[in-house]
Structure 1
């Protein structure tokens, strides 16, 4: 989660003005807010997160202490592959997150038969990652989704139109799921080489090699 700070600055003679900061991490925001508080010239200081929720300093500190035991700082890599000869699709996702001051990686793949194109498989792989995030209890957080599909990334970012009916259905399904989970998505496009972990999971699914694992990352 990122926040921006809004506060009122008051001079000794009573002149006041309101300031708004740029978006920053919660940790940075707390440090800056504490420094502003020490000046004795700031008041009405609030934080506004990327879901437009407002917090005071005490509430935000309590929130940060609470999420230490929950998954946070989440990055999802996803990939899908379609085998034209078998009409099967392999889906793969790797979820990196922090919890209890430790780093973890969740890997999951799936073999499905009801899809018709590689682009559908890419969307389905992203949807698979959302189901895994839901099982982890991830809600009302910013999540970074990383993939090598220009179609999926650019359509979900709103930079490309979604003209195919089936892809529109997938995009709607994903956006509705994110809305219900309170997820604020951030999308990043990378090369297939950079996405090799998710690509390998999708390929293993097509070979009927099932992967479901969670491990600590040192």
Structure 2
């Protein structure tokens, strides 16, 4: 989770002013806050997050301690495939994360018939991944989403406008769910070669090969 540091600074003569830092990882913010506290010149120190909540030092430390037992350091690979002849779609996602000091990989795919384009299938694959995150009870957490769809990545990053009605509906649905879960998304565009795991899952779904697996891995 990323936060800012906000505090009131007191001079020797009693003047005060308020400072608000740039956004940074919560771990780093706590280290800097401890250093600020040593000056004995600060008061009312809080950590505002991107969702409008301000954490106290005690709350943020408790959150960071508890996070070790929950999924964190999450990277999601997603891909959607569309068959123009049959109008069928295959969705695939691979979720890598840490929990309780161990690394894990969750793979999931799905066969879908009601979509109308490859771009829509890509959006649906991302939505499938986010639903898996919801099942995993991922909340108030940064998550990296990796895909090879320029349309999805650039539209959700705000680089491209979303003009098609169906894609706008998917984008709104995804952004709404991310906000509901408090997930801070980072979108990364990669080549299909670097997204081959999710691509394979989507292709298997098109062949009605259902994949749902969870394994512990040596290195994430």
Q: Scaled by the length of structure 2, what TM-score is found?
A: 0.92
CA–CA distance in structure 2, aligned partners of residues 72 and 130 of structure 1: 14
CA–CA distance in structure 1, aligned partners of residues 67 and 40 of structure 2: 30
- Contact 1:8 1:44 (8 Å CA) reproduced: yes
Q: Mark the runs of 5 or more structure 1 residues left unpaired by the alignment.
A: none
How many residues matched?
A: 218
Q: Mark the runs of 5 or more structure 2 residues left unpaired by the alignment.
A: none
Task: Name the counterpart of 1:111.
Answer: 111
Report deviation, 1:207. 2.2
Task: Name the counterpart of 2:27.
Answer: 27
Q: 1:52-91, aligned counterparts within 5 Å? A: 52-91=52-91
Task: Name the counterpart of 1:208.
Answer: 208
CA–CA distance in structure 2, aligned partners of residues 72 and 62 of structure 1: 15
Report deviation, 1:148. 0.9
Report deviation, 1:208. 2.1
- Contact 1:2 1:23 (8 Å CA) reproduced: yes
CA offset digits 1:30-67 (Å, max 9, x no partner): 11111111222222211111222101111110111122
Report deviation, 1:186. 2.0
The alignment yields a C-alpha RMSD, in angstroms, of 1.5
CA–CA distance in structure 1, aligned partners of residues 52 and 211 of structure 2: 37
Q: 1:100-139, aligned counterparts within 5 Å? A: 100-139=100-139
CA offset digits 1:73-130 (Å, max 9, x no partner): 2221110011123221111111112211222111111111111211111011001001
